[in-house]
């Protein structure tokens, strides 16, 4: 079995097809798909989607790219939604949250500060409810880590990991897992492939980030969670292990990063 730890199945690219997409993934032994929220407006969308699909769970959070239009009150709405979702076994994490200092429009001083505010307040919600976080980390590894230390959040996944070995070690020291997906399938992605090949086995989870980050053989088409086993094969080849071992390893790691998913299975 495989676990897609990051897939935006509610994205407009999948409109009207989410059920078929999830079913095709299930046929490829993708037993779980984690659907993160991105803004207040889609909290109920991801919850409803996961409730209707056998192999889907969800997270709640405000994505850094949606922070510019977010309102301060959205944080209180999130806290209330999380409180209510604690009774829902399909709810597994806070996410997608983080910092994006790559997108030019998000880099001015005021927006950097607003992003840090939303990130740290959402970490506090994760801490208060003892939930893992799904992190979006772009040109922001060190500040992401600084807040994890300060607020003392000790569980989660740094999705689409693209940092240094030293930064990877810091996440692993905090019991975080690192998400690898389509980017690893491009032979020119030397650093990501080296990380996937050499990092300690207990630190790795797989993801598609569908509809984005399509693997090399599908690029530039829409990505989908049914690609996860082929992405897992690339990880197996990079590490010199069998594809079954890659499936077992990454699923076990996903369960340890997402305890509520583990208890659901
Ligand atoms: Zn995402």
| CA distance linking residue 155 with residue 257, whole number of Å | 6
Q: Within a 10 A sphere around the Cβ of 245, how many other Cβ atoms?
A: 15
CA of 96 to the centre of ligand 1 (A): 6
Taking the centre of ligand 1 as the mean of its atom positions, its distance from the CA of residue 210, in whole angstroms, is 8
In terms of CATH architecture, what is 2-262? Alpha-Beta Barrel (3.20)
pLDDT given for residue 105 in this prediction: 86
Q: To 10 degrees, the CA torsion angle through 223, 183, 196, 232?
A: 20
- 241 Cα–ligand 1 center, Å: 28
Give me ligand 1 centre to Cα 25, in Å: 18
* pLDDT at residue 119, rounded to an integer: 98
Q: What string of pLDDT tens digits covers the 265 residues of the chain?
A: 999 999 999 999 999 999 999 999 999 999 999 999 999 999 999 999 999 999 999 999 999 999 999 999 999 999 999 999 999 999 999 999 999 999 988 889 999 999 999 999 999 999 999 999 999 999 999 999 999 999 999 999 999 999 999 999 999 999 999 999 999 999 999 999 999 999 999 999 999 999 999 999 999 999 999 999 999 999 999 999 999 999 999 999 999 999 999 999 7
- Residue 64 CA to ligand 1 center (angstroms) comes to 10
CA of 227 to the centre of ligand 1 (A): 16
> What would the two tokens of residue 66 be?
């949606």
Q: At 24, phi and psi to the nearest 5?
A: -65, -40
Model-wide pTM > 0.85: yes
């Amino acid at each position: 079995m495989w676990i897609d730890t990051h897939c935006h199945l509610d994205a407009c690219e999948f409109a009207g097809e989410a059920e078929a997409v999830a079913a095709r993934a299930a046929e490829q032994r993708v037993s779980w798909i984690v659907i993160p929220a991105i803004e207040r407006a889609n909290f109920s969308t991801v919850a409803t989607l996961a409730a209707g699909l056998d192999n889907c769970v969800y997270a709640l959070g405000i994505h850094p790219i949606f922070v510019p239009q977010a309102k301060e009150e959205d944080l209180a709405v999130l806290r209330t939604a999380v409180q209510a979702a604690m009774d829902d076994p399909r709810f597994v994490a806070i996410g997608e949250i983080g910092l994006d200092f790559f997108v030019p429009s998000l880099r001015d001083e005021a927006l950097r500060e607003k992003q840090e505010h939303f990130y740290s307040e959402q970490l506090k919600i994760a801490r208060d409810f003892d939930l893992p976080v799904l992190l979006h980390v772009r040109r922001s590894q060190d500040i992401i880590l600084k807040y994890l230390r300060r607020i003392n959040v000790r569980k989660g996944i740094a999705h689409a990991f693209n940092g240094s070995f030293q930064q990877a070690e810091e996440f692993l020291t905090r019991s975080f897992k690192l998400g690898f997906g389509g980017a690893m399938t491009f032979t020119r992605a030397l650093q990501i492939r080296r990380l996937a090949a050499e990092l300690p086995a207990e630190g790795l989870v797989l993801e598609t980030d569908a509809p984005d980050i399509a693997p090399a053989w599908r690029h530039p088409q829409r990505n989908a969670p049914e690609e996860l086993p082929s992405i897992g094969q690339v990880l197996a080849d990079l590490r010199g292990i069998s594809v079954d071992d890659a499936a077992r390893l990454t699923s076990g790691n996903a369960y340890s990063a997402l305890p509520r998913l583990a208890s659901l299975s």
